[in-house]
Structure 1
């Protein structure tokens, strides 16, 4: 059968301009969730390849295209879309950085425990950040990430970001002050959470150090490093072992607070102008 012009005209298909327009809308919708994947804890860890993050952002954008109000390609191809693009990146980065700041409380608590116990020299490369951190801080950080995954906190965080497309449609103005306030509040909460996590161990170490100081003051012939450091190290390990059962619920509470802070930030940013 010979194909005529009328036969070819009846074959359904997409024009190249329509395909490019759909790809432009898809990439524009991926900016927010992609920025979150790049900056959020666990997803932004160095042991996760960049290719995996890109694939994850693509798959997360597929359900977004089903309900998000994406502007038409004609509008996205103009200079009007440049502020929208910056706004989408700001929302995603702010969401990821709020969680990153709050999750830093575990590393800070571990570093303070290590410095108080004299374990600051025991540092190695952190697989998540690629920097040198004390081993105690890495234990706290990995424990927090394990609890975060075990309680499906990563799914809850992704759900909040995806739901933000309904709260803050693409192109809608946002309240920048709400994002700045959320970052400041997250920083304040980070120090508070770090103190709460380290206090059970550091409080006992403070008493031990005062006792060692009194002993060395009353008996100067006793070498501080001969009995003080082994005693402090032993008590630190015992305290970490004894406080491990209560550390899980405490970290779970901090994760819940971080997710609540993320949800509050997206809701507050939606009322902008």
Structure 2
């Protein structure tokens, strides 16, 4: 038994700590990102994905030595790794919120706000139109291999900003605020054409009901508004696909700029 090749316990523990330390960033990203962090994805799947993606990350930088794990000096570095991954995932999540915001405004303007159900992605009650927009954006994002690009950017950050080095979290927070601004701007751009047409429809319904009071607004106005909203969603689907494709590219650009801003510190 003494002649059998084996791994010493100390070396095995060191390798395990290095692996877990390296998994903090990619694990936090998978939890906070819009697609990988959805509630309908089981937790064991996310753990296995984080462990599998950590293997190539170990070859991109030199992990801390065994002496670093014997003190509490590595605790701030571990918290920084979690913050980097969470910031990267939240940058995508915030920008993706533009589709949900646009769908919510269109649904309420068209009178479809009452048609709501629990969103399986986040567990909240949302209008069906918002969920359609969110799923449409996710489908466009995946069809363009955006999820692979996002993972590649996070893995490349291990070489640009190796774990254990200080990161400029203030600049990362600034990029997060810029992403919030982009969410509102993109949401307004997505919903403005449909909301403008629906506003004109409501104005026409108001003029008609004012001219002919016998035409009840509840029996004439609401069906017209709902019909116009459904027609706009159907006719505008191709254009909406192009707009959501541009939004997905903008989200990846924000992710790249955010990770680069964290490394510049």
Instruction: Choose which of 146, 170, 173 in structure 1 pairs with 2:163.
Output: 170
Q: CA deviation at 1:77?
A: 2.8
Deviation at 1:176, TM superposition (A): 1.5
Q: Which residue of 2 aligns with 1:155?
A: 148
Q: How far is 1:130 from its partner?
A: 1.0
Partner of 1:124: 117
The 8 Å contact of residues 175 and 271 in structure 1, kept in 2 or not, is answered as yes
- In the alignment, which residue of structure 2 is the partner of 1:53? 46
Deviation at 1:12, TM superposition (A): 3.0
Residue 236 (str. 1) matches residue 229 (str. 2):
yes
**Distance in 2 between residues matched to 1:100 and 1:42, nearest whole Å:** 9
Query: Residue 190 of structure 1 aligns to a residue in which SS?
Result: helix
Q: Deviations over 1:132-185 (max 9, x none)?
A: 100000100000011111111000000000000111111111112211111100
The alignment status of 1:22 with 2:15, answered yes or no, reads yes
Partner of residue 142, structure 1: 135
How far apart are 1:215 and its partner, in Å? 1.5
Whole-Å separation in 2 of the counterparts to 1:68 and 1:54: 22
Q: Who wins on radius of gyration, i.e. which is larger?
A: 1
Distance 2:69 2:181 in 1: 38
Q: 2:181 aligns with which of 180, 183, 188?
A: 188
Deviation, 1:263, is: 0.4
Tell me the CA shift for residue 11 of structure 1: 4.0
Q: TM-score with structure 2 length normalisation? A: 0.98
- State how far apart, in whole Å, the 1-side matches of 2:259 and 2:62 are: 17
Counterpart in 1 of 2:246? 253
Question: Is the CA contact (8 Å cut-off) linking 1:117 and 1:233 kept in structure 2?
Answer: yes
CA contact (8 A) 1:200 1:243 kept: no
* CA RMSD across the alignment: 1.1
Structure 2 stretches lacking a partner, 5+ long: none
Give the deviation of 1:240 after TM superposition: 0.6
Distance in 2 (alpha carbons) for counterparts of 1:134 and 1:27? 40
How do 1:258-273 and structure 2 match up within 5 A? 258-272=251-265
CA distance in 1, matches of 2:231, 2:82: 46
**CA deviation string 1:70-127 (max 9, x = no partner):** 1112202311101000000000000001100000111110000000011111001111
Cα shift at 1:68: 1.9
Query: Residue 221 of structure 1: which of 214, 217, 235 is its match?
Result: 214
Task: Name the counterpart of 1:198.
Answer: 191
Show the counterpart of 2:26.
33
**Residue aligning to 1:94:** 87
The count of residues paired between Structure 1 and Structure 2 equals 265
Runs of 5+ in structure 1 lacking a partner? none
